[in-house]
Structure 1
Amino acid sequence: MANDPKPDPTDLSRLRIVLVGTQHPGNIGSAARAMKTMGLSRLFLVAPEKAPNHESAALAAGADDVLAAATIVPTLTEALSDCRLVLGCTARSRRVQLEQHDPREAAGRLLAEAAGGAEVALVFGRERTGLENEELQLCHAAVHIPANPDYSSLNLAAAVQVLAYELRMSALAAAPAAAAPVRDDPPASHAQLEGFFTQLGETLDAIDFHKGRAPESAMRKLRRLYLRAELDEREVRLLRGILADAERMAMLAGQRR
């Protein structure tokens, strides 16, 4: 009897490259080329200023299939809705305090999560301004390419190439032990976590947790706390049930007053 086929260690089918607000169609084509050379095929475009065109096709240089299959969506939230792990590539320190990875660490973490059956994403921002703080808040951690500090300007497609290379090298070196452990309950998706964070913010407002202070700082810290916990679907349902009861009690207390 023939042996069962072994999983391909270079299979990157659960990983998507997400480009946000791309300003130049040529960069989309160059990014598609960078992806295909390293075995990546899933490209998501979030609200590009211009749709892929003849310039994109010319610079794709044979990666027309990646370009043709690209998914175009209006928001980053939509691009990430079914992802379990999201890493955002950023060139500089921001107010949003995220765990930082270099490209090699990021590749290992993404592949380990994908090997456990999860959808994962690597997000790149605009050519001139990168990812906005609100977009970085949708990421679980940040990726920083340690370029020359005296000249750190890096083209979008070049950044995609650096990360794509590290992903391929990590995949080629992957061992079965690198896979994330199988969990009894499926991990919460990005959309489920964002729904929880929205309800958490509303509940904190309902119970007057902030007491006149700006809520942004507390919500950033709470997001980091819950993202580190790697909640599964059942845990998110439990927490949302607690929040619903807290909101109900706050409403009753308000009626009594």
Structure 2
Amino acid sequence: MHKSALPQESAGGFGDQIRIVLVETSHSGNIGAVARAMKNMGLANLCLVNPVSFPDEASYARSAGASDVLDNAMVVNSLDEAIADCVCVMGTSARGRKVPWPVIAPPDAAAKAAEQSAAGPVALVFGRENHGLSNEELQRCHFHIHIPSNPDYSSLNLSMAVQVVCYELRMHFLRGIEGGEVSPYLKPMVAPGDPGWDVPPAPVQDVEGFFEHLEQVLVDVEFHRREKPRQLMTRLRRLFQRAQMDQMEINILRGILTSVQKASGAPASGSRVKTIAGEQD
């Protein structure tokens, strides 16, 4: 089969062994939407079982740039043909069965697919828009994937269901790269000092200089009295410390305070901290 569209950092990943199989899709636009969902998550192997209409203008329009996935899609006449060479088959199912079948959630399905892909192709099978997969088709699957949606409104659009499963595959892949360590793509970036933040954290001396400047401005505009401080500065300190400011933010805030002092006619409280590269006055 054709090569996967996994991004560069995923070289050696399992994406080229994962096959998304759509059975008798009735609306070609949904096929395009599925292609888009797949490419978003770095997958490219699409197999269509007896689609009502494909290829056509609607499928390519809905693919939104994932036309390569559609160009390389296999079209076959039966599910048996689509999964003949697969070592593991998982079918999506939204309802219970009289005869219990192994059922797994999307994260577990992703882990199982990754594990089984070492031995050969793995098929993830999605049924018709109106009634899903038949009992006979589900019996051809080793596992059933159940997406735990709202029981009061459990129906998912085809492309939404594919997106959920492909997302879990992507997350599983990202967790596994770099020798099993946490992927940089999954690490949070919420404060200065985190990988990817654009400006270093403000050092303590700069933060303390800001607090001194802030208190002086509040005195200048008669909002704060040092002889009766109450808890104003304590609460303001807690507020700004919680923000974990970076150097640029400190610089901006001190510039604002200086402007307030000039507008109020009060003398400026010393010089501003050294301008960082990239700041515009």
By the TM > 0.5 criterion, same fold? yes
The structure with higher relative contact order (CA 8 Å, sep 6+) is 1
Matched, 1:98 2:101: yes
1:222-237 to 2 correspondence within 5 Å?
A: none
1:138 deviation in Å? 0.6
Tell me which amino acid in the other structure corresponds to 1:40. L
- Give unpaired runs (5+ residues) of structure 1: 1-5, 178-257
The one-letter amino acid paired with 2:166 is A
* Count of paired positions: 171
Check 1:96–1:22 CA distance in 2 against 1; reply closer, same or farther (3 A cut).
Answer: farther
Cα deviation 1:106-161 (Å, max 9, x = unaligned) = 000000111x2311110000001000001001100100000011111110000000
1:133 alignment partner in structure 2: 135
Matched with 1:147 is 149
Q: How does 1:100-249 map onto structure 2 within 5 Å?
A: 100-114=103-117, 116-174=118-176
- SS for the counterpart of 1:17 is strand
CA change 1:78–1:44 in 2 (3 A) is same
Give the TM-score, by structure 2 length: 0.58
Gaps of 5+ in 2: 1-8, 181-281
Q: In angstroms, what is the RMSD of aligned CA positions?
A: 1.7
The CA deviation string for residues 202-223 of structure 1, in whole angstroms up to 9 with x for no partner, is xxxxxxxxxxxxxxxxxxxxxx
User: 2 CA distance for matches of 1:170 and 1:50?
Assistant: 33
1:193 is aligned to: none
How do residues 41-120 of structure 1 correspond to structure 2 at under 5 angstroms?
41-114=44-117, 116-120=118-122
Q: Which runs of 4+ in 1 moved over 4 A?
A: none
- Quote how far apart the aligned CAs of 1:8 are: 3.0
Matched letter for residue 147 of structure 1: S
**Structure 2 counterpart SS, 1:45:** strand
* Equivalent residues of 2:49, 2:75 under 8 A apart: yes
Counterpart residue number, 2:34: 31
Q: Percent identity?
A: 51
Q: Which residue of 2 aligns with 1:17?
A: 20
**Distance between the aligned counterparts of 1:129 and 1:26, measured in 2?**
18
How many angstroms apart in 1 are the aligned matches of 2:38 and 2:147? Answer: 17
Higher CA-based Rg: 2
The TM-score with structure 1 as length reference comes to 0.64
Classify the secondary structure of the residue corresponding to 1:87.
strand
Shift, 1:94, TM fit = 2.7
Amino acid in structure 2 at the alignment position of 1:134: E
Q: Is the 8 A contact 1:9 1:171 kept in 2?
A: no
Bigger proportion of residues as helix: 1
- The structural deviation recorded for 1:9 is 5.6
2:15 aligns to what SS in structure 1? coil
